[in-house]
Every structure is written in C-alpha cells, then in structure tokens.
C-alpha cells in the first residue's frame, strides 16, 4: 500500500494560482496592445491633437500654482535663517506700533472735534468765553460732591467761576462752581453738594422771582429752590436760571464771576412754608454724570 502511494503523482494546489495569474497578465498585455493600437489610429486620424491640446490647457493653471509654490518655498528657504528675517520682523513690529499710535491720535482728534463743535454752538447762543476741561477725578469722600478738572491757574481759571455741562438734546446748564485752583488742576463744587448755594431766578410766564438754589444730595434729594415769595405763582416744569446776584448774598464761596441766565433745572414739587415757597428741582444736566465740562472764563457785555 505504501508503495502504491509513493508511486502515485501528487497534484499541488498552489499550481492553480500560478495559472490564473498568468492568464490575468496575458489579458492585461492584450488590453494594452489594443489600447495602443486604438491611440495610434486616433492619432493618425487627427483626434489625439485635440485631446492633447485640451489636456494641456486644463493643466496650465495647476502647473502655474505648483510653480509659484515652488518659487515661494525656494525664496523662503533661502530667506530663513538669514539675519534679514529678524530685521524684517522688527520693521513690521515698528510699523504696527506706528499704525496703532496713528489710530489712537485719530480717535482722540474725533472726540476733541466733537467737544469743540459743542463749545462753538454754546458760544453762538450765549455771550460766554468758554474753556473745555475733562473731569479726571471724583472725590472719593462720599460726604462731598467734588470733581477735579484737568485745567488750572495756568489756563486762566480762578475760584468762583461757573462750570457748565450739556446732556444730549438739552441746554448747556450749570453743574458746579470752581472752589479752588492749583497750577494745572481745579476743584469744582457740584450744585448737588449740601454746601452749594447760588442765587436763582424762576420763570413763570411773564413773571419772575428770585430765590436761593441749595444742594440737597446728602439730605436725600438733589437740589431745592428756597425763599421764593409765596405770592409768586409756581408750577412744575418752570425753569430756573442763575440770577447773577450770588456775590451780594455774602456767602463764603467767591461767586462774583457767575453770570446770570445760566440754565439750572426745572421745578418738580412745590410746598409753602409760612411766607415763602420752596420747590424740589430737577437739573438740566446731572452733575454726577458729566465727563467733560466748560468753564465760563468771562462774558461779553
């Protein structure tokens, strides 16, 4: 039995894949030959020239992009590691800094131009010579309503000068009085402070009367008009202006340079006490909200 098995030829399975692979290779060779013959035939008939031209036109943009990328990479490669790269970066940083500074100057000029236009409009309506000033500090002491201006004696300021502000859509109105002056700064006592007192004139139709405008912020309100004759008719909405008489009242603060007819506010509530009337006032400009003001240096006669 063993001899029979040894004499019998054995077929290996791996012979089949070899035959199959040869068949596939032969098929590919025949296909390539047929394709070559077809291309040669088409070229002789003139068809391949059209196809070749179309392919070249389609590939031109791709080739151009590749060329640009290659040139850029070559130039950057030559540039990297060179001292010129660091110098160029420094130049760009300096240019960026310069542009930022120019932008800030432009924005600042826009703000200053806006305030100058406001000042011009106020001076056209009133006989005042004005000096604009920024509010730089507010008193940290909650017991006093005082602000510090970035203007001082070197700019012509002196104690007793009127300080006005303006809210959008409203008139230029009194917000405080210069209390003390240094070389480059000045303190302004706001009208709402309890120690602020200034003469005021109330207008009701064709009638007027003089009273005293007092600050009431620390007493739970803003301002109050007192000592108005009880025979004077008053109504909510009646305007209050400066009377220009404060210097004659003998108050401790020098207010001789406060001109008349500066708007202050309007009446809100009225009450009568003995022979006088008094009224709660709403200011035309909130002294606690102003960021830029004008000091009245003088007025035309």
- Given a cut of 60, whether residue 5 has pLDDT beyond it is no
Whole-angstrom CA distances from 222 to 93, 139, 205, 229 are: 52, 17, 25, 22
Question: What is the DSSP secondary-structure string of 162-195?
Answer: EEEEE-TTS-EEEEEEEEEE-SS-EEEEETTSTT
Q: What is the pLDDT of residue 110?
A: 72
pLDDT band at 1 (very low <50, low <70, confident <90, very high): very low
pLDDT tens for 74-94 read 555 555 556 777 888 888 888
pLDDT tens for 10-66 read 454 444 555 566 677 777 767 767 766 766 766 666 655 666 666 566 666 766 766
- pLDDT, mean of residues 161-176: 93
Q: What is the pLDDT of residue 265?
A: 95
Closest CA to 229 of 209, 249, 243: 209
Bin 191: left if φ > 0, else alpha if -120 < ψ < 50, else beta. alpha
Please state the domain extents for the chain: 85-125, 126-299
From 95-104, 198-207, 283-292, the region with the lowest mean pLDDT: 95-104
pLDDT tens for 229-284 read 889 999 999 999 999 875 455 555 455 568 899 999 999 999 988 889 999 999 99
CATH of domain 126-299: 2.40.10.350
Burial class (CB in 10 A: 0-12, 13-18, 19+), 221: middle
Q: What is the pLDDT of residue 73?
A: 54
- pLDDT, mean of residues 180-198: 93
pTM above 0.75, yes or no: no
Residues of the chain above pLDDT 70, percent = 69
Sign for the CA dihedral angle at 260, 262, 266, 271 comes to negative
């Amino acid at each position: 039995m063993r001899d029979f098995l040894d004499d019998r030829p054995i077929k290996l399975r791996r012979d089949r894949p070899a035959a199959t692979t040869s068949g596939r290779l032969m098929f590919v060779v025949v296909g390539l030959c047929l394709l070559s013959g077809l291309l040669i035939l088409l070229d002789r008939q003139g068809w391949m020239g059209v196809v070749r031209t179309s392919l070249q036109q389609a590939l031109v943009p791709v080739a151009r992009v590749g060329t640009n990328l290659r040139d850029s990479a070559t130039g950057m490669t030559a540039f990297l590691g060179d001292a010129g790269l660091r110098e160029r970066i420094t130049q760009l940083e300096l240019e960026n800094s310069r542009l930022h500074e120019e932008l800030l100057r432009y924005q600042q000029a826009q703000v200053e131009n806006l305030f100058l236009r406001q000042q011009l409009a106020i001076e056209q309506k009133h006989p005042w010579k004005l000096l604009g000033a920024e509010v730089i500090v507010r008193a940290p002491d909650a017991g006093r309503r005082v602000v510090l201006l970035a203007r001082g004696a070197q700019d012509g300021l002196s104690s007793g000068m009127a300080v006005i502000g303006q809210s959008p859509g409203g008139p230029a109105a009194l917000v405080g009085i210069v209390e003390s002056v240094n070389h480059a700064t000045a303190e302004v006592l706001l009208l709402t402070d309890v120690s602020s007192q200034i003469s005021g004139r109330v207008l009701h139709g064709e009638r007027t009367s003089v009273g005293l405008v007092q600050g009431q912020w620390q007493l739970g309100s803003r301002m109050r008009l007192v000592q108005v004759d009880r025979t004077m008719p008053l109504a909510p909405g009646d305007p209050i202006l400066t009377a220009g008489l404060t210097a004659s009242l003998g108050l401790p603060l020098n207010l001789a340079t406060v001109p008349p007819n500066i708007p202050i506010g309007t009446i809100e509530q009225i009450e009568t006490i003995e022979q006088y009337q008094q009224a709660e006032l709403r200011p035309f400009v909130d002294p606690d909200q102003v960021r830029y003001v004008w000091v009245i240096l003088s007025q035309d006669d």
